[in-house]
Amino acid sequence: MFSVLPLLAGLLFMAASLTPSLIPRDWLMQGVLAGVSMAAGYVMTQFLLALWRALELPVLRGRPARIAHAVLAVPVLVLLGRGVILSGAWQNSIRARMGMPDLEVNNTAKMLALALAVFLVLFVTGKAIQALFDLLRLRLARYIPVRSANVLGLLLAVLIVVTLTRDGVVNGAMRIADSSYAAAQHLTDPSVPPPAEPWQPGSAASGIDWELMGKPGRDFVLGGPRARAISGFTGRPAKEPLRIYVGLAQDKDPQARAQAALDEMLRVGAFERKVLVLASPTGTGWMDPASYDALEYMHGGDVATVAVQYSYLQSPLALIFETESGLDQTTALMRAVYEHWRHLPPDRRPRLYLHGISLGAWSSMYAFNPFQMMNEPVAGAFWVGPPFTSTLWRQANGARQPGSRFVLPELDEGEVIRYASQYAPPDRSGRPWGRLRILFLQYASDPIVFYDPASLWRAPEWMHEAPAPDVSPRLRFTPVVTQLQLAVDMLVSTSAPPGFGHSYHARDYIDGWVAVTAPEGWTAADSERLKAICGQEGRLGCANG
């Protein structure tokens, strides 16, 4: 039933999948990864053997083939056994760097059983596809030459599989995911009524519908520090921060949602604040409270933040299946707000900043048009965990100084663009900023940032550097397998503790906002005091009443 050489290749891929990558894996994710890796090795080797035979090259048979297989099996099984034995230590090498406890329970048997089950499911699926191909080519061979029947049968089989997968499985799963995420948007505590304050979106005086705002928007609008808490921290009078949020259900048209946001900004006086943040949420519409809370403390509440939801899906799904939604929405909002802002008297308008996290960073970068802003630039941008697809981020990386690290580039003198991580604050060089300040905050262990599609056949550039403190030194490149590992890492990227992976810590937001917005009268001691109350265990942000 199984071909020996492809099976050995599959076991070799499985052994490689046990090595560490960027994010720690539990036995469940490791079992799925190992099974998929084994299937990938099997299929690739089977394809190469079929190509070898098609070229009519000599093939070992009988006793010589059995001897060759036995000889090859020894190192493969040794490597697999070594991987199984060391897999726990390899995972702990990542966990230790992230301050996580070592794995307590050895679930090797369950992991191996799951890997085998996944492999068998994929193997049976492959056999079914092969049977479909055989059926088609044999039927076609009755009417056309055999060679033509083989080619046409292959094309038809591929067409059928792709159609069923895309229109049946994928679209069906997407409809279920979209409806479930959409339903989750309406989950709210019924004891929490719409805001009573007229300056808050969703109130009776607002043009934004509270029920259509969605849970992420309602959490954002009701969350955050109030003026009294900010004043208690700074020792000075403070304003109530303005948070404007428009839900996806508000209107089907992204232009209409952008206009609704602008109308609300005008109603509550957002353009009369000292700092105005044009924010782009993550795929689900979530706004990380650790970032926005910190900024409001720094500027005495004299901040207005506006955001518009563009999807219900988690960021990885929205990135693949709703690519244009975030780009269209953020561009529409940027155009509406910027056009109004730039026509205000320069001495009476707020400092305008762009901000986004994860998929929000990508869409925010897309909306950043330097040609549009040539004469009237924004004050700066703070982009956190930018996805690997971000064009502006990739262009900036390509312009880094020779010798600077890929995971933490340096551009010129850092006058306009800087990079920061949990180990490298943005102002570490001591050099002055320019008029426009752009900051990328990224962790070396974040697969959303450092996934590389080309890792299918070559090592990502960052693998040629000495590993960062949050990356295991035992990470190694294996063609195909590394690609699968990084793909799994993206799926579980937020499972890392705050300060690692795709979970960004409040202390790093604080350093970032201080560097980008330069709060008046703010000191290093103020930053330390704010860090002491932000991002504590069990708290998502810095709000304190």
Average pLDDT of the segment spanning 473-492: 93
177 pLDDT band, cuts 50/70/90, is very low
Q: What is the DSSP track for 458-512?
A: S--GGGGSPPPTTS-TT----TTHHHHHHHHHHHTGGGSPTTBTTB--HHHHHHH
Give the number of C-alpha atoms closer than 13 A to the C-alpha of residue 502, restricted to the C-beta side.
25
From the DSSP assignment, how many helices (H) and strands (E) are in the chain?
18, 7
More confident residue, 282 or 177: 282
Q: Tell me, what's the pLDDT at 178?
A: 47
More confident residue, 170 or 87: 87
496 pLDDT band, cuts 50/70/90, is very high
Q: State how far the Cα of 30 lies from the Cα of 24, in Å rounded to an integer.
A: 9
68 pLDDT band, cuts 50/70/90, is confident
Share of the chain above pLDDT 70, in %: 89
166 pLDDT band, cuts 50/70/90, is low
Average pLDDT of the segment spanning 50-64: 72
Reported residue count of the chain is: 545
Residue 509 has pLDDT above 90, yes or no: yes
* Burial environment of residue 459 by CB neighbours within 10 A (0 to 12, 13 to 18, 19 or more): middle
173 pLDDT band, cuts 50/70/90, is very low
Residue 275 has pLDDT above 80, yes or no: yes
Q: Tell me, what's the pLDDT at 161?
A: 75
Which of the residue ranges 226-230, 305-309, 348-352, 372-376 would you say has the lowest mean pLDDT? 372-376
More confident residue, 410 or 138: 410
Give yes or no for a contact between 216 and 238, defined as CB atoms under 8 angstroms apart.
Answer: no
Q: What is the 3-state secondary structure (H, E, C) of 511-542?
A: HHHHHHHCCCCCCHHHHHHHHHHCCCCCCCCC
Q: Tell me, what's the pLDDT at 373?
A: 81
Which of the residue ranges 122-131, 193-202, 204-213 would you say has the lowest mean pLDDT? 122-131
Q: Virtual CA dihedral for 259, 265, 266, 269, nearest 10 degrees? A: 180
State both tokens at 113. Answer: 């059983």
Residue 457 has pLDDT above 70, yes or no: yes
Residue 190 has pLDDT above 70, yes or no: no
Q: For the chain, what is the mean pLDDT?
A: 87
Residue 102 has pLDDT above 90, yes or no: no
pLDDT digits (tens, 9 = 90+) for 361-401: 999 999 998 877 878 889 999 999 999 989 999 999 989 98
Q: Tell me, what's the pLDDT at 174?
A: 47
* Burial environment of residue 539 by CB neighbours within 10 A (0 to 12, 13 to 18, 19 or more): middle
